[in-house]
Structure 1
Amino acid sequence: MQEILHSTTEALTSESTEFKREIGVFGGVSIIGGIMIGSGIFYLGAYVLERVQMNSGLALLAWIIGGLITLFGGLCYAELGAAMPVAGGRVVYLNEAFHPVVGFMSGFTDWLIGGPGSVAALAIALTTVFKSFIPISDFGIKMAAITLIILLTVLNLRGVKLASSIQNISMVGKLLPILLIMFAALFVGKVSPDLSLTSTTTSSPTSLISMIAFAVVASLWAYEGWTNLNTVAEEIREPHKNLPLALVIGIGGIMVLYTLFNYAIMRVLPHEQIVAMITSGDLYLGTAVAESVFGSVGKVIVSLGMILAMFGSTNGLILAQPRMYYAMAQEGHFFKAFSKLHPKYKVPTAPLIVQAVFSIILVLMRNLDQLTNMVVITGMIFSVLTILSVPRLRKKYPTIHRPFKIWFYPVSVIITALIFTGLVIQAAIEDPVTGITGLVVPLLGAVTFFIFDKQRKEQV
């Protein structure tokens, strides 16, 4: 038993790999930021405000809490990824912490829903932006989304260096218009927003906490995507050092960006105007700020920012997700073709192609709202289990070198896991159909695992 544990430890901690290690710290930050910073920065602030009864102070507090929750979740991933710099991300951690079936259920859910659903949702959202400039039908939007998915998949099939370079360029490109709007609003804005935390009709502490939690759930969709860097850990240079650094810089920087961007909105738009816009169904507060500061050019700046943001998010997901399916196949519990890398470009070719096919099917079958709800709930379930993997693996592999350890352990792990669990339950109550889907699909994954596992044992 000790020999098995020793060989497993060596495999998990070794930096030798068939992949090419071509992603540095900036590349890692670009992957995180490229996936996390999407179009939501321009409109999710409206949902957060709505859920705290239009209280500006509580809205900013919700953004900060959402960022801190995400950061501590990211720190758990940083400890796991630095100690085990292998492809697959949370599939690997769940395998080792609990049982291979748990990791497979996570990967299977991402393979069937999470990865393709996110790619499809972003592709549809990106192409929808063009409706503001040219007449395009819903069918035309879907065809444009499919074309985008095919294009980015082909580029990713050419190797991680090219895909990472695209990610770096799109990251810088989309930050420029966002930062331009934000800093211009902060300096030009003359409104002094009321940031007191008491101007709500909610009186009891329990109701107030529940209200803030509901707003935090909305903010977490904007932070979605922070788990994806670990799936390419085997392609990061000096992962023991660079992976935690990229996670801390990426998530911490985005938390500051989101908070300041939403404060900048409050500096430009009077509170009465914000309330009137949200009440009328106009959620794009960021667009209104850009038009207020830059005039008619502002709409072009926002549209450019949204296009670049979603382009980077889509490319980042297409880059990261297939590495998870590769890890599942490497363990002998998935299609053999998924375990092979391209002889020249060293990328998991079959998983990339299959993900593109599934994404295209979802583009044709689902709308944007259905896709986003489906992805969030199913993803959070396994985020909770991955966070709990930290104490499990500390006990199971006490001698593994951990160059990075989560801060304030074990309190930080317990609180983060409890918060994510509460958010999963609340989200499932709000959308029971998607909640049921979030349970049925992993169970289907468990059945699939045991079928492959039986075949693998029969071949031995």
Structure 2
Amino acid sequence: MSKKIQTYKITTLTGIALVVANMIGTGAFTSLGFQLKDLNNPTIILILWVLGGIIALSGAFSYAEIGTHIPRSGGEYAFLTKLFHPLVGYLSGWISITVGFAAPIALSAMAFVAYFPYFNLNPKWTSIILIAVITLIHTKNLSLSSKFQNASTLFKIAIIVVLIFIGIWQEPSFSNIEFLSNSDYSNLISPAFAVALIYVSYSYSGWNAAAYITEEFKNPKKSLPIALIGGTLIVTVLYTFLQYVFLKHVPIPELKGQLNVGTIAMNKMIGDDYGRFFGLAISLLLISGISAMVWVGSRVTSSIAKDHRFWDFFKSEKSNIPQRALWLQFGISALLILTGTFEQILIYCGILLTISSMATVVGVFKLRCHQKNNQTNKFKSPLFPLFQIVFIILFLWMIVYAFISSPFEVIVGLSNIALGFLTYWWSNKLNDNHTKLK
């Protein structure tokens, strides 16, 4: 039996596909409208997306190094538990449970309703019903889920490549002679740029996806770095060209504050009829993203349940499917949809994920101190500590300006971490009582 299980290991190519599939989602087709509320310079916007890619790549280098030294599945939860303390690892796991997957699922469902071009739907309840249906599917059949996710990655890339090629070759329907010629770069050091970077960093979230399944690779030491770095580079190129196309074909005032920027851009490029078709295609793309996050997120919860009795109820059940964890995740996503706007959820989610990722990148410094004489056959982040310092400084900058701009969302996020402390204490107490009973 164990030999059969060991044969089911994924390849490097599958790892790259997993990273790409998890990264390409809501943010690329929705966040531009929010960035343009305070930033009106297209060049600044493109710099923003390139910088977001550099940040994600810096994180990928760091996770690749840690992952080859700590070849355990679970991402931040596994890494921080080993590098620092079980409490630090637990809090990162708590963030994953409460917002790391539930919030992006909620955002993608809300974006699906905004993009779906054929019916006037109640946004909140339609989003909740959509998540419920996808959750139900994942409680039944893992084989079908796996095949669907593999095919959807190719579909995602194909849609974006088509959008980019149409946008590059098609002439805009309005005069944009001054496009990319604005020489005012003062906004690069503004609070608005920092907050916009949160939107972009959320759009790039998922670059660490392969770190959640490190043990599933045939050769983790080789495959994990290539999957993380290769997938991030592919998405950076696609994202930057996609935003260029949106900005080229739609006047900035028409994009400000809009959620369905992709549909707006396609209507400008090829007309309303074809634009509606691409709106449908983008909405289907978002469904595959929701499915991926529903699938992976529930596994993080069930993994933590193995170590902490507080979460014991959410362990995997029959056929190794964590049904209770799936429905817990659904409940959190539904609550976020009912209590927050798209923009509030995005900032709240972005701040918490930033804190968790930044703690992991800091772990590279500790790893280097303890592994000075044991670096053979392990991936090393290039130009250390340049990428780690860039990552940490930019993330701290985002957090500070996010607090200045959106203090309510940041305070709610920090309150979430405080609640995590309480559940950790409760879990330890349950573990101690269980040990005494033995």
Query: If the length of structure 1 is used for normalisation, what is the TM-score?
Result: 0.83
More off after superposition, 150-159 vs 427-436: 150-159
Residue 220 of structure 2 corresponds to residue 242 of structure 1: no
Query: Matches of 1:46 and 1:23 in 2, distance apart?
Result: 38
User: Quick one: which of 44, 48, 59 aligns to 1:62?
Assistant: 48
After superposition, the Cα gap between the structure-2 partners of 1:194 and 1:124, relative to the gap in structure 1 and judged at 3 Å, is closer
Give a deviation string over 1:420-451, Cα, whole Å, max 9, x none. Answer: 12112222222111211221221221222122
Amino acid at match of 2:100: G
Superposition pairs of residues 238-317 of structure 1, within 5 angstroms: 238-269=219-250, 274-278=251-255, 281-282=257-258, 284-317=260-293
Partner of 1:404: 379
Partner of 1:135: 120
Aligned 8 A contact 2:263 2:276 in 1: no
Aligned 8 A contact 2:55 2:390 in 1: no
Superposition pairs of residues 128-207 of structure 1, within 5 angstroms: 128-130=114-116, 132-138=117-123, 141-142=124-125, 144-158=126-140, 161-189=143-171, 194-196=179-181, 198-199=183-184, 202=186
- Stretches of structure 2 that go unaligned for 5 or more consecutive residues are none
After superposition, the Cα gap between the structure-2 partners of 1:163 and 1:364, relative to the gap in structure 1 and judged at 3 Å, is same
Query: Matches of 1:128 and 1:268 in 2, distance apart?
Result: 20
| Post-superposition offset of 1:307 | 0.9
Give a deviation string over 1:176-218, Cα, whole Å, max 9, x none. Answer: 2322121011112266654346236x4xxxx642364444333
SS at match of 2:378: coil
User: Quick one: which of 348, 355, 361 aligns to 1:381?
Assistant: 355
More off after superposition, 33-42 vs 179-188: 33-42
Partner of 2:425: 450
SS at match of 1:27: helix
Query: Matches of 2:65 and 2:9 in 1, distance apart?
Result: 21
Give a deviation string over 1:125-173, Cα, whole Å, max 9, x none. Answer: 213433x3213234xx51x333332332233345655433222222222
Aligned 8 A contact 1:290 1:301 in 2: no
Aligned 8 A contact 2:74 2:300 in 1: yes
Residue 22 of structure 2 corresponds to residue 35 of structure 1: yes
Aligned 8 A contact 1:83 1:401 in 2: no
| Post-superposition offset of 1:235 | 3.0
Partner of 1:44: 31
Partner of 1:336: 312
Identity %: 26
Aligned 8 A contact 2:95 2:417 in 1: yes
Partner of 1:84: 70
SS at match of 2:31: helix
Partner of 1:94: 80
User: Quick one: which of 209, 212, 221 aligns to 2:189?
Assistant: 209
| Post-superposition offset of 1:16 | 10
- Stretches of structure 1 that go unaligned for 5 or more consecutive residues are 1-14
Partner of 2:390: 415
Query: Matches of 1:48 and 1:186 in 2, distance apart?
Result: 22
Residue 89 of structure 2 corresponds to residue 103 of structure 1: yes
More off after superposition, 284-293 vs 251-260: 284-293
Aligned 8 A contact 1:175 1:305 in 2: no
Aligned 8 A contact 2:198 2:350 in 1: no
Aligned 8 A contact 1:86 1:234 in 2: yes
More off after superposition, 443-452 vs 328-337: 328-337
Give a deviation string over 1:292-319, Cα, whole Å, max 9, x none. Answer: 3322333223312321231122112112
Amino acid at match of 2:28: I
The CA RMSD over aligned residues, in Å, is: 2.9
Residue 210 of structure 2 corresponds to residue 233 of structure 1: no
Aligned 8 A contact 2:262 2:279 in 1: no
Amino acid at match of 1:76: S
After superposition, the Cα gap between the structure-2 partners of 1:442 and 1:299, relative to the gap in structure 1 and judged at 3 Å, is same
Aligned 8 A contact 1:107 1:324 in 2: yes
Query: Matches of 1:48 and 1:257 in 2, distance apart?
Result: 18
After superposition, the Cα gap between the structure-2 partners of 1:214 and 1:378, relative to the gap in structure 1 and judged at 3 Å, is closer
Aligned 8 A contact 1:83 1:402 in 2: no
Matched residue count: 429
